[in-house]
Amino acid sequence: MKPFLTLFFALSLTVTASSQKVDSLFFNLYTDSLKKGTHNYINVDGKLSNGQWLPLTGKELVFSSSYGKFDGNSLFVDTNFKGEKISVKVALKNDPSVTREITIFIKKYFPVERLKTVDEILGDPRRRNSRNKKALG
């Protein structure tokens, strides 16, 4: 009987230790805006009841948004989207009462920078002269 109680006690401690629950959700975005025509990764962390943090994915979360399509944690925003912002909501699959929502704006300004061609770079006398001066001096 004693070995059985010891085994039962050890198993109950293991189950208790591994059953930390997610108390709350937080967005940890890599950028301050969403880009059209690309997949935007939405990073969500869960705060456990013991105070530790756990990164969460589509396996543990249900993602929804006012526009776009989710593939796991990635939100794809079509290039035809005309709005200024998108609301993203996440909920725990095993406890839908634990949710978090955020509004993320769409990137408006894309710097258009014309890069020089190979001929322009190789034919630029200023660049060649400065390189030659460094080699000589």
Per-residue model confidence as pLDDT tens digits over 44-76: 999 999 999 999 999 999 999 999 999 999 999
Per-residue model confidence as pLDDT tens digits over 72-115: 999 999 999 999 999 999 999 999 999 999 999 999 876 677 88
Is the pLDDT at 128 greater than 70? The verdict is no
Contact by Cβ (8 Å): 25, 92: yes
Instruction: Classify the C-alpha dihedral 9-15-18-21 as positive or negative.
Output: negative
Which pLDDT belongs to residue 108?
A: 86
Residue ranges covered by each domain of the chain: 20-109
Which pLDDT belongs to residue 71?
A: 95
**Topology classification of domain 20-109:** Immunoglobulin-like (2.60.40)
- Coil, helix or strand at residue 113: coil
Distance of CA 8 to the CA centre of its chain: 41
Percent of the chain with pLDDT over 90: 61
The per-residue b/e assignment along 56-83, b for 16 or more CB within 10 angstroms, e otherwise, is: bebebbebebebbebeebebebeeeeee
